[in-house]
Amino acid sequence: MFSLRDLPSPSTGIRAKFGALLTALTLMSAGQTFAQEGDFPAEDLESLKKEVLKLNRDLLVLEEDLLFPAQSQVAVYVSMDVGHFFDLDSVKLHINNKLVETHLYTEHQKDALFRGGIQPLFKGNLKSGEHTITAFFNGIGPEQREFKRAASLDLKKTDEPAVIELRISDAGGKQQPEFTVVQWPAP
């Protein structure tokens, strides 16, 4: 059985919402018992169900806050500009020389990137301090040859969330793709 004391101490707002969810779930189970006996109005039961769904949504947000607290959160996205010189096949993401994510791209996903989409690749936690983010890009380059490149970023993680973009763009003058890893400025 969960208790409000099981939650971390600095999360007073989280405790209140978790307590409200527990109360709603208790009322929901009581409402089902009354509804079975026919003593609980159907519209009240429907309103209670809506409230439980809303609280469930809030619980999912709170769960994400607990799993990925803002002070240690890092998110990595992939973007592609034009894409005439590179047909993306896969991306491998390493943080501090450790493989944390690999993604193979479908035609639909590549098309979305060509049209300006940004794909979330990774979301995780990093302690404050120095880290190395390295992305390995695989695909077909100019003259239909296999193309493998890497790009890195030395990240100084602070207590703010870090947002990293893996950019694939065309260098028209060189007629080659360019790969960069960029940290977005803090909001």
* DSSP codes of every residue in 105-172: PPHHHHHHHHTT-EEEEEEEE--SEEEEEEEEEEEE-GGG-EEEEEEEEEEEE-SS-EEEEEEEEEET
Contact between 128 and 162 (Cβ < 8 Å): no
Question: Minimal CA–CA distance to 168: which of 146, 136, 144, 143?
Answer: 136
* Tens-digit pLDDT profile for residues 68-114: 666 678 999 999 986 678 889 999 999 999 999 999 999 999 999 98
Question: Minimal CA–CA distance to 90: which of 58, 138, 124?
Answer: 138
Q: pLDDT at position 76, please?
A: 95
Residue 81 neighbours by CB distance under 10 Å = 14
- The CATH code for residues 73-183 is 2.60.40
Give the residue extent of every domain in the chain: 4-67, 73-183
101: left (phi over 0), alpha (psi -120 to 50) or beta: beta
pLDDT averaged per 10 residues, the chain (length 187): 43 56 59 54 81 83 67 88 82 96 94 91 91 94 87 90 91 80 85
